Structure 1
C-alpha cells in the first residue's frame, strides 16, 4: 500500500527557528545512529520514519558512519526515502556528517578537505539525493587547520551539495573560531550538535553563550543519557538493556546505586508533572528556548510517540528546577 502521511502532521509539533537563520526545526528530531543499519530490520526502521513524519518530525539526522555497519543507515534511509517520502522531499530536513573513521588510509577520517568532500559525495550516493539540508563536521581535527575544514564546508554549500553547514562536538572556543571563519567565507554556521542531558551539562559552561552570541542554533544528542533517563533502569539493569550488554551508549560502570537513586527521584518528580521520566528529561533540555531541537533515538514506534508527548508540558516552575538541581547535585 502506498504511504500517505497524516494530513494534520504539523498541527501538534513545535518548530523553532535555528539561530539567526530562516530555518525552523521540529523541537524533537529523529536520529538514525542505531536501529537503522544493515544489522537491523528495515521494515522496523521504515515504520519509525513514517510514524515520525506523521507526528510532524521533519528532520532526520544521519552521518557517514552510522549503522552498523558504517554507511548502512544512509543506505537504508535512502531506500525508505525512495519508497515512501520522495514526494515530500521539500518538507524534509536531511542531515549528515563527516569526520569519524570511515575508510582505510590517511583520508578516511578527521577534517581534511579531501576527507570531508569525498565523504559528502559518498553520503549523497548512499541516500540517493542531490543535496542534504545540513552538512556537519562531526568532530574537531587536532591536526588540520580549521580554515581548511571550514573551507570544505563552505565549498559544499557553494557546490549545491548542502544548503546549510554545522559542527558537532566542538568546544566553546573551537565553535567561536569556526563560526568566525565561516562568516568570513560567507557561509554562516547554522547549528551545533553537542551532547546534553541532565547528567551531562557541559554545554552550560560557555558553549551556550557562544552559540547565542554567534547566532548559531543547537540540536542536542543523547538527551536521555543513553536511556538512563527513562523507566528502564528504575529497578536496576535489565539484561536486555543497553547497559546489560555491549553498547556505545552505556556501560554498567555508569549505573551506580547513587545514580539509580537519582533516577528514581527524578522519576517521582516527573510523575508529579504528569510525565514519564523520558518526557521530563526531553522537556528539561528544551527549557528556556536555548536548545533548538532534541535529537532522539528509537528502536520502536512507541518510543517516538512517547517522546513527542514531552512537548505537551515544556514549562517548569522554579521549584521544579531547583528540585532537579538538588537531585543532580547529590554525591555518593
Structure 2
C-alpha cells in the first residue's frame, strides 16, 4: 500500500515565520546530516522521514556533502520523494547547501559562482527536483569576494532553482555585509543556520541582534550539543554511542566527569518539568521566539517523536532559566 500522510499532521505542530519573509518553518525540523547516507539502512531513514512528516515536520535539511559517501543523503531522500512523498512536494520545505569540499580541483568547494551553481545543479539531479525551497552558502569563503558569492545566490533564485537563500556558519559582521548585498540585489537572505545550544551560546554575542535588525530567521543545528544534552551519556561513554564510534564531531574526551555532572543536574531539572533532557534542551533554544526552528538529527523514529513532544512544555520560569545558567556557568 502506498504511503498516505496523517490527516492530522498540522494540528499539533507549531509553525514560525522566518524573519520578515513569508516562509514559515516547523518549530522542529529534520536534518539528514547523519544516518541517511549510502552506508546507512535505507528503510530506517525512510521510516524516520515518513514519521516526521506525519508529525507536521515539513522541513527537511540537506547539503551536497551529506552521507557518507558525499551526496548519498540527497540520493536517498530523492528516492523517498519518488516512492512516498511526491504528492506532498508543495507542502514541504526542502533545503540544501554548498560550501564544503565536494569534488577535486579548484571549483569543488568554497564560494565561487562556478562552484555554487554547479553544486546545486548536481543536488537537484540527485534529488530529482526542479528546485529547492532554500539554498544556503554553507560557510564563508575567505578568498572569494562576498559580492560574487551573494550574486551566485541571487542568480540561482532568478534561474528558478531555489525559492529562498540562506547563510550558514557566518559570523555577525559577515552576516550583516552579506544581507546588505543580497537586499541590494533583490534577493533577501531569509534564514541563517548557526550552531546553538545551552552549552554553545555564541550566537547570543551579536549574531541574534544582527538577524533581528536584518529581518532574518534562524534554524539552529546541534541543539542537543551532539547528543551530550540527552540521557545518553549520564553514565559515561557506552560502546554503542556516537562518542565511541568513528565520529570526528564527538569524541570520548568531550564527555568529561565535569560535563556528566552538569548534564546529570540538567536531567534532574528536566525530570521535574516532566520532560526528557533532550526535550528541555530543544525547548530552551526555542524559548522567547528568537529562534525560528530547531534542527534535529535522528537515528530512530522514537527520537523524532520525543523531539516533537518537547513542544508540549516549551515555557520556562525565570527560576528555571537561572538554574540552567548556574549549572552551566
With the length of structure 2 as denominator, give the TM-score of the two structures: 1.00
Partner of 1:27: 27
* Cα deviations by residue, 1:221-247 (Å, 9 ceiling, x for unpaired): 000000000010111111110111221
Q: Which residue of 1 aligns with 2:54?
A: 54
SS state at 2:114 partner? helix
Q: Residue deviations 1:130-165, cap 9 Å, x none?
A: 000000000000000000000000001000000000
Residue 310 of structure 1 deviates from its aligned partner by: 0.3
Instruction: Please name the residue that 2:242 is paired with.
Output: 242
Looking at structure 2, the residues matched to 249 and 302 of structure 1 have their Cα atoms a distance apart, in angstroms, of: 23
Pairs aligned (count): 329
Residues of 2 paired with 1:205 and 1:161: CA distance?
34
Shift of 1:256: 1.0
Match of residue 204 from structure 2: 204
- Matched residue, 2:172: 172
1:222 maps to 222
Q: For structure 1, list consecutive stretches of 5 or more residues without a partner in the other structure.
A: none
Give the equivalent residue in structure 1 for 2:41. 41
CA distance in 2, matches of 1:301, 1:152: 37
TM-score by length of 1: 0.99
1:268 matched to which residue of 2? Answer: 268
1:249 Cα deviation from its structure 2 partner: 2.7
Offset of 1:326 from its aligned partner?
0.1
Q: Hey, what's the Cα distance between the residues in 2 that align with 1:245 and 1:103?
A: 26
Query: What is the CA–CA distance in structure 2 between the aligned matches of 1:301 and 1:322, rounded to whole Å?
Result: 33
Q: Could you say what secondary structure the match of 2:238 adopts?
A: coil
Corresponding residue of 1:65: 65
Q: Matches of residues 1-332 of structure 1 in structure 2 within 5 Å?
A: 1-329=1-329
Runs of 4+ aligned residues of structure 1 deviating over 2 Å after TM superposition are none
Identify unmatched segments of 5+ residues in structure 2: none
Secondary structure of 1:309's match?
helix
- Structure 1 residue 248: deviation in Å? 3.2
